[in-house]
């Protein structure tokens, strides 16, 4: 299951309208100076500092060390809030000429927020997960501030922006919790808290709007001047001989976020579902951990997979930038400011950067388009780019018709002016403005008890049509990568997948006899395959396992994943049989399927079987697990709560409290995505 979608990726550019006033000639001059000093590309974030080398865990000390006037604290799981934090720092530095530090919340002692000086502005940029929880790296901080009661923060000045998705029940709750804790403790809120909404694909625009409001406030209330920003590279790039041809490709470990990655082969790949008339399938993969004896996973864990970009998109971008002849040359990349964090390996090649380290398939944010307009020498292209990026609505309408990543955008612009060339575009621009590649997270579909050295993954391969140009398809980067990757043969070792096991709290009850209710739609079935395998194995060796009910939703019988396997396990008789009920729901039933006349969703089936479900959950301390779309999880939750209310004559509040309690005691789990 692809928990993290392509659109979740971000980093961005941000030279604002003021940058549009500078001249390309000035930029060309800067470039000439840079090249003459043997740098391929440069640019500077001047003073914007990150926590990469945090020596202190005191937030105040951190801001004093660098004499910062703005300190940005971020909490992020898949990179959005982190990227926005760095982008804000870059702009504050370049436009407001204000020293700004960027801190990962996990690197600091939460209590030291109270020590921050009154003269320093604190900015929170934090995303929300699960049941309205903060991202992992912000959990300690949020639990600290939400329990503060008196007014120890009355000297603080703060601003806050949250990253979330309104399809979730607790939209942007983490940033709301931080802001309300700050207010309760007397801190002064400088501008209304901003909220990015991934559901309407507007996080970038929401952030842009919020940032402009924040900067305007700083200009009017703090007397800061908003200078015309110029493009300044944050990295130095020089050529360097590579020790071996592929050392640039493999130098992953220099990146903090990739230190735990391992390289493993895919040993099998099977198509487990196809969909009539749709360019869509579902594949089952097995990855082999045998060569990494120290790496262990537990049933219910996730695996993060780092993809490579599709060859055609790699070739497109390298081609349009005119970098074909240099793509295998070694490059040494360093940050201009030692306190800053490099997001790509320091020793690499253009080919490796573009194929592995940068998310070149990500949509190009509007601000990047406006920055590009500043960097082109073609008046026609500049006008085109300015037209597309002029305002939020025009840009959104343009995206409805185009699949717009950077390579495609540059090509499209060349089609407006055949004399235009992007060969002058600095490589540093590509590093600064394209988001770093993020891994996709999949639930592991095998049991560590049954198959400790094999990791199973279920991947939906489902291209998304461009809204108003359905013939154009946007393919998921990781699903495409996994679906075409080489498997090992006798003569070939196969390519290796870069991956990392990630711990999860989606775990079976410790008590084997506790009942387990599992509700899945589509590839949400993945962790339940592992759960069922695990309990089936334990039952087969004589353990007494509790009742299990598995609800599985699909379009019809033919795409009901692992249908035969579950049916067989559910019908096996005998003392050591698994007490499993397997219940399907078909939303587009076909001739031959049960209940052909009626669309049925998993929540309908949960309602049909609600007495049994609720009895397990209320009377015998059973646990429920829901995995799939947010809308499905909400519908299932509503059905169960309604039945619990009727059965026990409870109020809505009492039923909500019961569910909260089940969550706290790890008996109600949701692993959902929108």
Ligand X SMILES: Cc1cc2nc3c(=O)[nH]c(=O)nc-3n(C[C@H](O)[C@H](O)[C@H](O)COP(=O)(O)O)c2cc1C
Tell me which residue has tokens 């899945």: 520
Q: Which of 12, 45, 81, 404 binds ligand X (CB under 6 A)?
A: 81
Among 13, 42, 58, 77, which residue sits at the site for ligand X (rule: CB under 6 A)?
77
Cα gap 448→444, rounded to integer Å? 9
At its nearest, how many Å lie between ligand X and the CB of residue 80?
Answer: 3
- Which one among 164, 265, 476, 553 touches ligand X, defined by CB under 6 A? 164
Residue found under tokens 């409805």:
400
Name which of 2 and 432 has its Cβ closer to ligand X.
Answer: 2
Q: Tell whether residue 172 is a contact of ligand X (CB under 6 A).
A: yes
What token pair was written down for 607?
A: 């309602």
Question: Near ligand X by CB under 6 A, which window of 31-39, 86-94, 168-176, 509-517?
Answer: 168-176
Minimum separation from the CB atom of position 168 to ligand X (A)? 3
Confirm if 583 and 566 have CB atoms less than 8 A apart: no
Shortest Å distance, C-beta 86 to ligand X = 12
**Site for ligand X contains 443 (CB under 6 A):** no
- Please tell me the distance from the alpha carbon of residue 194 to that of residue 197, in angstroms, as a whole number: 10
In order, the DSSP letters of 77-106 are SSSHHHHHHHHHHHHHHHHH---EEEEEGG
Contact status: 305 vs ligand X (CB under 6 A)? no
Interaction of residue 171 with ligand X, rule CB under 6 A: yes
Q: Which residue is nearest to ligand X (CB)?
A: 164
Q: Rounded to whole angstroms, how far apart are CA atoms 138 and 143?
A: 9
Nearer to ligand X by Cβ, of 209 and 226: the residue is: 209
Q: Is 673 one of the binding residues for ligand X (CB under 6 A)?
A: yes
Q: How far is the CB of 405 from ligand X (least distance, A)?
A: 19
Q: Is 309 in the site for ligand X (CB under 6 A)?
A: no
Q: Are 517 and 623 in contact (CB under 8 A)?
A: yes
Query: Is residue 560 within the footprint of ligand X (CB under 6 A)?
Result: no
Check binding of 6 to ligand X (CB under 6 A): no
Number of Cβ atoms within 10 Å of the Cβ of 253? 11
Measure the CA–CA gap between 270 and 666, rounded to whole angstroms: 34
Does 533 sit near ligand X (CB under 6 A)?
no
- The reply on whether position 658 binds ligand X by CB under 6 A is no
Nearest to 367 by CA among 7, 88, 13: 13
Of 58-66, 167-175, 265-273, 649-657, which segment contacts ligand X by CB under 6 A?
167-175
Residue 84 CB, shortest distance to ligand X, in Å, is 8
The Cα 556–Cα 600 span in angstroms is: 10
| Cβ distance to ligand X smaller for residue 41 or 442 | 442
For ligand X, give the closer residue by CB, 2 or 384: 2
- Determine, following the binding rule CB under 6 A, whether residue 345 of this chain makes contact with ligand X: no
- The residue count for binding ligand X (CB under 6 A) is 26
The H-or-E segment that residue 331 falls in is: strand 331-335
100 binds ligand X (CB under 6 A): no
Q: Judged by CB, which is closer to ligand X: 167, or 334?
A: 167
Identified binder of ligand X from the candidate list 50, 63, 203, 348, rule CB under 6 A: 203
Work out whether 420 is an interface residue with ligand X (CB under 6 A): no
* Min separation Cβ 210 and ligand X, Å: 14
Q: How far apart are CA 585 and CA 592, in angstroms?
A: 14
Of 20-28, 107-115, 169-177, 315-323, which segment contacts ligand X by CB under 6 A? 169-177
Q: Toward ligand X, which CB reaches closer, 95 or 462?
A: 462
Which of 13, 42, 50, 76 lies at the binding interface for ligand X (CB under 6 A)? 76
Nearest to 116 by CA among 177, 61, 182: 61
Determine which residue in the list 6, 13, 78, 448 makes contact with ligand X, applying CB under 6 A: 78
Is residue 8 close enough to count as binding ligand X by CB under 6 A?
yes
Minimum CB distance to ligand X, residue 126 (Å)? 8
Task: Tell me the window of 79-87, 105-113, 141-149, 457-465 that interacts with ligand X (CB under 6 A).
Answer: 79-87
* CA dist list (Å): 548 to 33, 70, 232, 597, 638: 69, 53, 59, 28, 21
Per rule CB under 6 A, is residue 165 in the interface with ligand X?
A: yes
CA nearest 540: which of 631, 450, 457?
A: 450
CB 92 within 8 Å of CB 71: no
Is 165 or 556 the residue whose CB approaches ligand X more closely?
A: 165
**In sequence order, which residues have a C-beta less than 8 Å from that of residue 656 and are 6 or more positions away?**
641
Cα distances from 601 to residues 83, 331, 552, 633, in angstroms, run: 38, 54, 9, 11
Q: To the nearest whole angstrom, how small is the minimum distance from the Cβ of residue 444 to ligand X?
A: 15
Two structure tokens written together for 62: 């951190």
**Rule CB under 6 A: which of 103-162 touch ligand X?**
127-130, 132, 135
- How many Cβ atoms are within 10 Å of 41's Cβ, its own excluded? 22
CB atoms within 10 A of CB 314: 22
d(CA 199, CA 209): 17
Cβ-contact 435, 83 below 8 angstroms: yes
How far apart are the C-alpha atoms of 333 and 633, rounded to whole Å?
45
Decide: residue 209, CB within 10 A, 0-12 exposed, 13-18 middle, 19+ buried: middle
Q: Which of 27, 39, 161, 168 binds ligand X (CB under 6 A)?
A: 168
- Binding of ligand X at residue 629 (CB under 6 A)? no
Nearer to ligand X, 164 or 547 (CB): 164
Minimum separation from the CB atom of position 502 to ligand X (A): 12
Helices (H), 425-540: 427-433, 477-484, 526-540
Strands (E) across 16-69 are located at none
Q: Is 79 in the site for ligand X (CB under 6 A)?
A: yes
Task: Give the nearest distance from C-beta 302 to ligand X in angstroms.
Answer: 10
Write out the residues near ligand X by the rule CB under 6 A: 3-4, 8, 76-82, 127-130, 132, 135, 163-165, 168, 170-172, 198, 203, 673
């Amino acid at each position: 299951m692809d928990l993290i979608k392509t659109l979740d990726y971000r980093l961005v550019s941000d030279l604002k309208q003021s940058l549009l006033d500078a001249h390309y000639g000035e930029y060309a001059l800067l470039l000439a100076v840079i090249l003459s000093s043997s740098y391929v590309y440069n640019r500077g974030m001047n003073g914007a500092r990150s926590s990469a080398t945090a020596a202190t865990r005191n937030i105040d000390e951190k801001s004093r060390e660098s004499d910062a006037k703005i300190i940005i604290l971020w909490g992020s799981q898949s990179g959005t809030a982190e990227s926005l934090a760095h982008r804000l720092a870059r702009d504050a530095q370049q436009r407001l000429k204000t020293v700004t530090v960027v801190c990962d919340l996990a690197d600091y002692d939460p209590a030291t927020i109270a020590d921050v000086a009154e003269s320093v502005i604190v900015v929170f940029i934090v995303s929300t997960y699960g049941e309205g929880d903060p991202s992992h790296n912000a959990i300690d901080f949020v639990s600290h501030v939400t329990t503060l009661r008196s007014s120890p923060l009355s000297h603080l000045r703060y601003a806050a922006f949250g990253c979330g998705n309104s399809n979730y029940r607790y939209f942007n709750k983490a940033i709301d919790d931080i802001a309300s804790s700050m207010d309760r403790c007397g801190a002064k809120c400088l501008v209304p808290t901003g909220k990015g909404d991934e559901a309407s694909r507007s996080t970038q625009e929401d952030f842009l709007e919020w940032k402009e409001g924040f900067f305007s406030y700083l200009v009017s209330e703090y007397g800061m001047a908003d200078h015309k920003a110029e493009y300044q590279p944050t990295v130095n790039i020089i050529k360097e001989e590579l020790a071996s041809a592929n050392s640039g490709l493999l130098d992953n470990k220099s990146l903090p976020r990739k230190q735990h990655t391992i390289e493993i082969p895919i040993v099998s790949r099977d198509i487990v579902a196809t969909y009539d008339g749709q360019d869509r399938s579902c594949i089952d993969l097995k990855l082999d951990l045998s060569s990494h004896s120290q790496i262990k996973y537990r049933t219910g864990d996730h695996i993060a997979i780092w993809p490579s970009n599709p060859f055609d998109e790699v070739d497109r971008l390298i081609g349009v930038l005119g970098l074909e002849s240099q793509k295998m040359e070694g490059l040494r990349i360093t940050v201009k400011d030692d306190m800053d964090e490099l997001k790509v390996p320091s020793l690499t090649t253009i080919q490796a950067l573009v194929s592995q380290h940068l998310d070149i398939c990500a949509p190009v944010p509007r601000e990047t388009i406006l920055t590009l307009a500043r960097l082109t020498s073609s008046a026609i292209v500049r006008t085109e780019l300015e037209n597309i990026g002029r305002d939020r609505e025009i840009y959104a309408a343009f995206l409805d018709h185009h699949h717009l990543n950077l390579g495609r955008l540059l090509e499209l612009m060349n089609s407006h002016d055949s004399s235009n060339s992007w060969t002058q575009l600095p490589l540093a621009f590509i590093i600064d403005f394209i988001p770093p590649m993020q891994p996709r997270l999949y639930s592991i579909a095998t049991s560590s008890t049954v198959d400790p050295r094999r990791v199973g993954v279920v991947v939906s391969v489902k291209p998304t049509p461009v809204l108003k140009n359905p013939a154009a398809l946007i393919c998921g980067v990781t699903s495409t990568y996994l679906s075409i990757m080489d498997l090992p043969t006798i003569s070939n070792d196969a390519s290796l997948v870069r991956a990392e096991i990630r711990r999860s709290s989606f775990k079976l009850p410790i008590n084997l006899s506790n009942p387990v209710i599992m509700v899945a739609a589509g590839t949400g079935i993945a962790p339940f395959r592992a759960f069922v395998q695990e309990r089936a194995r334990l039952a087969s060796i004589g353990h007494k396992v509790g009742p299990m009910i598995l609800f599985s939703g699909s379009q019809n019988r033919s795409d009901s994943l692992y249908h035969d396997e579950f049916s067989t396990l559910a019908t096996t008789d005998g003392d050591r049989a698994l007490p499993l009920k397997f219940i399907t729901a078909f939303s587009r039933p076909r001739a031959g399927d049960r209940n052909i006349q009626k669309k049925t969703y998993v929540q309908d089936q949960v309602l049909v079987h609600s007495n049994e479900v609720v009895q397990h959950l209320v009377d015998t301390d059973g646990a429920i697990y829901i995995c799939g779309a947010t809308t499905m999880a909400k519908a299932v939750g509503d059905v169960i709560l309604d039945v619990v209310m009727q059965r026990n004559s409870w109020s809505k509040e009492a039923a909500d409290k019961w569910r909260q309690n089940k969550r706290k005691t790890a008996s109600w789990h949701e692993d959902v995505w929108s």
